[in-house]
């Protein structure tokens, strides 16, 4: 029997259902070729840069894509050209939510973390205070018709997005259209997203 952190019993079928959705979506998005990715990125950028909360945002947290996620590099370039301040997540187990966000410019040195993801190098002047953030672009593996989100399974964004309303930034999920499922099996700690943007649609709840 498996109990999670909260002492909640997690049945085998519940866990395997979440994991099989993760596996299916991750293999689907890894099968996208470079040309399709380019097209997806173009459409996503178009949607994002014409979306009012992005237009109005000064500080935007984003992530560097892995694992077939929509390519965020061209998006970061466009946002920097529009004079947005960009922040990237860094995994640090000594902070409460495990994620801190660091200012990124084309001059910022990047290093690989334990998951093979590039992270900016931290110095005392480039750490973001979440209360100063306007928009957080959030990665996801699957989402459903109610805005529930499934991540890679480590809960980093669930912890970071706890009480996001209090900080007054807007979380926006970024995904491929096919990452939508009818209904996700959710856990008590899962934080749903108020907005998810795909190449063809802006979902709002």
**Annotated binding-site positions for ATP:** 18-22, 149-157
Residue 165 interacts with which of ligand ADP, Mg ion, none, CB < 5 to 8 Å by class: none
Q: Which stretch binds ligand ADP (CB under 6 A): 39-47, 56-64, 111-119, 158-166?
A: 158-166
Residue 168 interacts with which of Mg ion, ligand ADP, none, CB < 5 to 8 Å by class: none
Write down the number of H helices and E strands in the chain.
6, 14
Binding mask 169-198 for ligand ADP (x = CB under 6 A): ------------------x-xx--------
Is position 153 an interface residue for ligand ADP (rule: CB under 6 A)?
Answer: yes
Report the nearest approach of ligand ADP to the CB of residue 5 (Å).
Answer: 4
Is position 158 an interface residue for ligand ADP (rule: CB under 6 A)?
Answer: yes
Report the nearest approach of ligand ADP to the CB of residue 17 (Å).
Answer: 12
CA nearest neighbour of 85 among 47, 54, 118: 54
Applying the rule CB under 6 A, the residues between 83 and 102 that interact with ligand ADP are: none
Report the nearest approach of ligand ADP to the CB of residue 118 (Å).
Answer: 19
Annotated binding site: 18-22, 64, 69, 149-157
Applying the rule CB under 5 A, the residues between 132 and 171 that interact with Mg ion are: 158
Distance CA 131, CA 147 (A): 23
Distance CA 13, CA 145 (A): 22
Is position 23 an interface residue for ligand ADP (rule: CB under 6 A)?
Answer: no
Contacts of 141 (CB under 8 A, 6+ apart): 21, 22, 25, 26, 150, 151, 152, 179
Is position 154 an interface residue for ligand ADP (rule: CB under 6 A)?
Answer: yes
Is position 190 an interface residue for Mg ion (rule: CB under 5 A)?
Answer: yes
Q: What is the dihedral of CA 140, 46, 120, 56, to 10 degrees?
A: -100
Take residue 121 and report the two structure tokens written for it: 């190098």
Dihedral sign, CA of 129, 130, 132, 137?
positive
Whose tokens are 């237009």? That residue is 55
**Chain center to CA of 57:** 17
């Amino acid at each position: 029997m498996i109990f999670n952190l909260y002492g909640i019993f997690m049945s085998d079928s519940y866990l395997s259902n979440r994991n099989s959705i993760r596996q299916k979506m991750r293999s689907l998005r890894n099968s996208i070729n470079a040309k399709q990715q380019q097209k997806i990125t173009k459409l996503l950028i178009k949607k994002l840069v014409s979306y009012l909360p992005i237009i109005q945002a000064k500080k935007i947290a984003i992530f560097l894509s892995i694992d077939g996620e929509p390519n965020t590099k061209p998006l970061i370039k466009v946002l920097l050209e529009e004079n947005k301040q960009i922040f990237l997540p860094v995994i640090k187990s000594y902070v409460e939510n495990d994620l801190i966000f660091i200012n990124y410019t084309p001059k910022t040195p990047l290093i690989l973390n334990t998951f093979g993801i590039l992270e900016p190098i931290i110095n005392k002047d480039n750490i973001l205070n979440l209360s100063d953030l306007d928009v957080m672009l959030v990665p996801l593996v699957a989402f459903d018709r109610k805005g529930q989100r499934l991540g890679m399974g480590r809960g980093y964004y669930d912890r970071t997005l706890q009480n996001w309303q209090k900080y007054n930034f807007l979380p926006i999920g970024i995904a491929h259209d096919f990452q939508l499922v009818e209904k996700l099996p959710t856990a008590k700690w899962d934080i749903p997203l108020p907005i998810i943007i795909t190449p063809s649609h802006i979902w709002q709840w």
